[in-house]
């Protein structure tokens, strides 16, 4: 009486075993359909479009900002009053907004250096090259570094070769004080903390971050130097793609630019965040 029932059970069991043999069962090492997750797709960086008004002569500071149509004089209330400073108009407008926001938080931002064209940078460089201006206020470059490459590298700790400075561009400025120590305590620390927290929202970035694994080459850290990225990023890209060491010329010591690799190590040796 139980045989038909047993036969049914055997038949069903046999069919199930045959089904498993044909299809296989998932092992612990093999992902099931539910386990498969699409790998994240990296989004390609947007290409940097360079404005047609930017040329290699512009990158190298071979123009007069006082007569350039894209530049304007900075109102003295934003500066230390030491002469007339110029900035690109777009940079200036962004700075004024940032200045107002900082003032609302009782933070005072004062421009102490802005655009320096090729000729102005040449006067600074050659004063250091010949020793009439001491390095860090204590060393005579020709006495301490008689070899041209060594002398140039010593000057490059803090000063750019003419034709390679971001200050040529009208996008960069120095604020408040030219020493890192000032920004590490008291009022200076308050300024620096505000800038690191808020400057990016106005388009500004610190190009000379601490040197290390992420930035092995270039100038020493400058907590006072800030760059307006909407224009500066384009100019950095133009320098990367079109500027060569051989085009860094017209001043004493320019012959060592190639041996140093000044474009790659100094013009492009900036905070990676400022390139993005």
Mean pLDDT by 10 residues, the chain (276 residues): 40 41 46 49 72 95 98 98 96 98 98 98 98 96 98 98 98 98 98 98 98 95 98 97 98 98 98 92
Phi-psi region of 18 (alpha: psi -120 to 50; beta: other; left: phi over 0): alpha
End-to-end CA distance of the chain: 82
Domains and CATH numbers, the chain: 56-274 (3.30.1380.10)
**Which pLDDT does position 38 carry in this prediction?**
55
- What is the reported pTM? 0.83
CA 269 from chain centre, in angstroms, equals 8
Single out the residue of 172, 158, 182, 166 nearest to residue 108, CA to CA. Answer: 182
Q: Which residue has tokens 């133009």? A: 238
Distance (Å, rounded) from C-alpha 250 to C-alpha 125? 12
Distance (Å, rounded) from C-alpha 39 to C-alpha 183? 44
Q: Quick check: 143 and 62 in contact, CB under 8 A?
A: no
Single out the residue of 230, 208, 227, 235 nearest to residue 219, CA to CA. Answer: 208
According to DSSP, the residues that pair with 88 across neighbouring strands are 71
Residue 208 backbone phi and psi in degrees, to 5: -105, 80
Distance (Å, rounded) from C-alpha 90 to C-alpha 127? 32
Single out the residue of 78, 178, 181 nearest to residue 124, CA to CA. Answer: 178
Distance (Å, rounded) from C-alpha 55 to C-alpha 52? 7
């Amino acid at each position: 009486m139980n045989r038909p029932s047993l036969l049914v059970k055997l038949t069903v069991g046999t069919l199930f075993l045959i089904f498993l043999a044909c299809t296989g069962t998932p092992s612990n090492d093999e992902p099931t359909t539910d386990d498969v997750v699409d790998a994240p797709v990296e989004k390609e960086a947007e290409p940097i479009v360079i404005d047609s008004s930017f040329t290699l002569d512009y990158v190298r500071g071979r123009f007069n900002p006082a007569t350039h149509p894209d530049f304007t004089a900075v109102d003295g209330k934003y500066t230390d009053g030491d002469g007339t400073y110029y900035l690109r108009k777009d940079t200036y407008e962004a700075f004024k907004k940032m200045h107002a926001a900082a003032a609302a938080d009782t933070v005072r931002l004062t421009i102490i250096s802005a655009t320096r064209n090729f000729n102005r940078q040449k006067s600074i460089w050659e004063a250091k090259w010949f020793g009439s201006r001491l390095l860090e206020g204590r060393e005579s470059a020709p006495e301490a570094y008689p070899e041209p490459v060594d002398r140039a590298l010593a000057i490059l700790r803090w000063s750019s070769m003419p034709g390679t400075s971001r200050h040529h561009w009208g996008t960069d400025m120095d604020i408040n004080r030219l020493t890192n120590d000032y920004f590490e305590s008291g009022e200076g620390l308050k300024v620096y903390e505000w800038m690191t927290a808020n400057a990016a929202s106005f388009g500004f970035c610190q190009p000379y971050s601490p040197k290390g694994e992420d930035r092995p080459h270039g100038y020493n850290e400058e907590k006072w130097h800030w760059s307006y990225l909407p224009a500066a990023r384009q100019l950095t890209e133009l320098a990367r793609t079109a500027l060569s060491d051989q085009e860094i010329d017209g001043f004493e010591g320019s012959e060592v630019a190639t041996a140093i690799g000044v474009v790659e190590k100094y013009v492009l040796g900036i905070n990676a965040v400022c390139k993005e």
